């Protein structure tokens, strides 16, 4: 709501300024996207650079990342729209991803989550497709908690046994309880659920009265 309504004069002034990095940023973005930006697209880029105050190196990393994701989804050579880059830019800023270190850390983390998606999808009985966005949020959360495919499969089997089918929130609830108990491997889960096995003594029961 507070974003300036950038005019053509504003854009030209920023491009002409020796103190601004906007011209160099524009050249690199156009190179990545393989096209000249329209006036509308220039306004979006200036908004991210000036109003959102995203450093050029972060904007370039964001653009490259959006290109990777667009090509993965739609095929080689496909490019994201500037409106999509803008939406991601605002999301990054909102979540504190506005420095090069923060952006690189975020991307490494997302790449790690993605590398685990296939294993965890198979652990919940899905082998013929990629996860949709809602499923991906659960998978990333489980990875963040530290669960591997064996523990996730254990929660999946329990979900199907109790609910009759795979229900993501139900499975997530099981894993959340285990995470709260600090149990993330099959062995740790069994230990917290059956703490008196493996030779550990049972608590003493009170002697019956009257005899």
Query: HSE on the CB side for 52, CA within 13 Å?
Result: 27
Compute CA distances 10 → 27, 39, 48, 53, 85, whole Å.
Answer: 17, 11, 14, 16, 21
Task: Give the tens place of pLDDT for each residue, 129-185.
Answer: 889 989 999 999 999 999 999 999 999 999 999 999 999 999 999 999 999 999 999
Query: Quick one: DSSP state of residue 143?
Result: H
Is residue 194 very low, low, confident or very high in pLDDT (cuts 50, 70, 90)? Answer: confident
Query: C-alpha dihedral over 61, 66, 71, 73, to 10 degrees?
Result: 140
Query: pLDDT digit string (tens) for 40-88?
Result: 999 999 999 999 999 999 999 999 999 999 998 899 999 999 999 999 9
Q: What is the CA radius of gyration of the chain?
A: 25
Asked if residue 62 lies in contact with residue 89, where contact means CB atoms within 8 angstroms, the answer is yes
Question: Cα–Cα distance between 22 and 176 in angstroms, integer?
Answer: 46
> What count of other Cβ atoms lies within 10 Å of the Cβ of residue 113?
17
Q: What is the pTM of this model?
A: 0.74
Residue ranges in 75-180 assigned as alpha helix (H): 82-94, 100-123, 133-145, 149-163, 168-180
Separation of alpha carbons 35 and 68, rounded Å? 17
Of the candidates 157, 168, 165, which has an alpha carbon nearest to the alpha carbon of residue 135? 168
């Amino acid at each position: 709501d507070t974003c300036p309504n950038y005019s053509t004069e504003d854009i030209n002034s920023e491009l002409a300024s020796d103190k601004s990095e906007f011209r160099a940023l524009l050249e690199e973005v156009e190179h990545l996207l393989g096209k000249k930006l329209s006036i509308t697209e220039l306004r979006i880029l200036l908004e991210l650079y000036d109003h959102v105050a995203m450093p050029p190196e972060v904007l370039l990393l964001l653009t490259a990342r959006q290109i990777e994701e667009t090509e993965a989804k739609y095929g080689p050579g496909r490019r994201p729209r500037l409106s999509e880059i803008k939406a991601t830019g605002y999301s990054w800023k909102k979540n504190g991803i506005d420095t090069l270190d923060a952006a690189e850390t975020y991307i490494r983390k997302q790449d790690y989550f993605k590398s685990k998606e296939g294993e965890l999808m198979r652990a919940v009985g899905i082998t013929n497709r990629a996860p949709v966005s809602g499923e991906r949020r659960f998978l990333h959360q489980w990875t963040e908690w530290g669960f591997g495919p064996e523990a996730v499969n254990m929660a999946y089997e329990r979900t199907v046994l109790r609910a009759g089918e795979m229900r993501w929130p139900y499975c997530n609830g099981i894993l959340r309880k285990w995470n709260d108990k600090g149990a993330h491997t099959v062995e740790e889960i069994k230990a917290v659920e059956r703490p008196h096995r493996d030779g550990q003594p049972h608590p003493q029961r009170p002697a019956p009265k009257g005899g």
